[in-house]
Amino acid sequence: TLMTRRLTMTGSTLRPQSNEAKAAIAAATDSAAAKPSGGTQGGPPPARVVLDEVIEERIGQTTPVVGRIVARQSGPIAARIGGAVVGMQVDVGDRIATGDVLAQIDRERMQLERDRYAAIVSQQRATLTAERADLEQTQNELNRLEGIRSSAAFSQARFEDAVQAVASQTGTVAQTRAQLAQAQVQLKRADRDLTDTEITAPYPGVVSETHTEVGAYLSIGNPVVTIINDLNLEVEADVPTARIASLSNGDAVNIRIAEGQTIPARLRAVVPSENPRTRTRPVRFTPDFTGLDTPLADNQSVTVLLPVGGSRNAVTVSKDAVTQRNGQNMVFVSNNGRAQLRPVTTGEATGSRLVVISGLKAGDLVVVRGNERLRPGQQLQDVGAPANGSGGG
């Protein structure tokens, strides 16, 4: 009897499930998945995530062209005066701001030259004061003789001598005034040379090379350091001449900095210089680096995605929102502040986003950060929203 019961139970266990049983199990599973989790009293806290909106935008086909990042300001900083280097204030790799001192040239000789011209200016001013006084005295003598022209004491010879003396003294004053102006210009130049003993940075950037050391003698125009302004960058690409006709200033393009990192840019200029070997022309783009935390370098390779053919409107979603579950593309959508897992079908990539074929509509809020361990029904807290943002739709 015991053996019979065991065989009966074993047979019952191995018997295939009916369709009604399968439906009951599926309903129980769906109910458990739909049950909210997190945020209830005594439950786990809300999941901290970053939400991004599904948008509708105009897209078109693109063709990749290899480009490079170029600094709009870079090159050697030269000495403006000659002299011995007495101090180097920067080294390779140092970040500098506009006006920072790069090197110091011996200023003793420049100071002595400046003092000499200052003394000449003082001397010329004193000479001019004395000669103006002589001119005034000579002019008074001429005026006195003119006052007695009708009297018997008037002497025509003395009068003519006085006129000649006034003219001569006037010329002397003018000459001294010109010498004073010349001395003042020389003093100003000496002041400028004294200032130029400090070689300063004309723009911000990073020191990429030094060309001199303490003790070396610099002549006018000798390079001191080379600076790259990595805060003012452009992208240059050699575009095939056949595609130049379809481009114009202001065209919007995307530039791929690295895998998964694409930024927008505008075409600034097509340089009218063609390479006869490659049949390409350099084209300059002004990128928008806002929010990009990747360090950039002069001559760094990038990929410019040039538009080709027509364009169309399409719904797109961030690549970071799409995850793989059992071979299916899935996204977490914020539904009244809770995570809803939804299958999605995507098409081609456009920059850092994917074209949505089905599963989402413009305006949906999807999770782009924090979706790795998210569970369906879990309450969401959008940490990427403003301080008083609602954080879910």
265-269, 325-329, 342-346: segment of lowest average pLDDT: 325-329
DSSP-derived letter for residue 72 is S
3-state secondary structure 285-318: EEECCCCCCCCCCCCCEEEEEEEEEEEEEEEEEE
Q: Which residues have a Cβ under 8 Å from the Cβ of 353 and sit 6 or more positions away?
A: 316, 317, 318, 319
Instruction: Output the six-digit token pair for 117.
Output: 């011209």
Q: What is the pLDDT of residues 79-98, one digit of tens each?
A: 999 999 999 999 999 999 99
Q: What is the mean pLDDT of residues 281-290?
A: 93
Residue that wins the pLDDT comparison between 145 and 378:
378
Instruction: State phi, psi for 182 to the nearest 5 degrees.
Output: -65, -45
Highest mean pLDDT among 67-76, 237-246, 291-300: 67-76
pLDDT tens readout for residues 196-245: 999 999 999 999 999 999 999 999 999 999 999 999 999 999 999 988 98
Asked if 190 and 114 count as a contact pair (C-beta separation under 8 A), the reply is yes
Full-model pTM: 0.58
If residue 367 lies in a helix (H) or strand (E), which one and from where to where? strand 365-369
| pLDDT for the residue numbered 156 | 82
Calpha distance 263→255 (Å, rounded): 5
Do residues 180 and 121 make contact, with C-beta atoms less than 8 angstroms apart?
yes
pLDDT tier at 165 (50, 70, 90 boundaries)? confident
Across residues 333-359, what is the average pLDDT? Answer: 89
Please provide the average confidence, as pLDDT, over all residues in the chain: 85
**Res. 307: pLDDT tops 90:** no
pLDDT tens, position by position, 15-63? 444 444 444 444 444 444 444 444 445 556 888 999 999 999 877 777 8
User: What pLDDT was estimated at residue 351?
Assistant: 66
Here the tokens at position 13 are: 């266990």
Q: How far apart are the first and last CA of the chain?
A: 63
Q: How confident is the model at residue 176 (pLDDT cuts 50, 70, 90)?
A: very high
Alpha-carbon span 179 to 124, nearest angstrom:
7
> Which residue would you say has higher pLDDT here, 144 or 279?
279
- Residue 162, pLDDT score: 83
pLDDT for 142 equals 85
Q: d(Cα 32, Cα 323) in Å, to the nearest integer?
A: 22
| pLDDT beyond 60 at 2 | no
What sections of 66-148 are H helices per DSSP?
108-147
Which of 225, 228, 352 is CA-nearest to residue 288?
Answer: 352
Contact 205, 231 (CB under 8 A): yes
Q: Tell me what pLDDT residue 94 has.
A: 96
Q: Is there a contact between 374 and 332 (Cβ–Cβ < 8 Å)? A: yes
The token pair that represents 8 in the structure block: 């009966």
Provide the pLDDT for residue 42.
52
Residue 385, pLDDT score: 64
- Radius of gyration for the alpha carbons in the chain, expressed in angstroms and rounded: 42
Average pLDDT over residues 136-144: 86
What mean pLDDT comes out for the span 312-334? 91
The pLDDT confidence band at residue 353, using thresholds 50, 70 and 90, is: confident
Pairing of strands 323-325, 55-71: unpaired
Q: Which of 10, 23, 60 is nearest to 253 (CA)?
A: 60
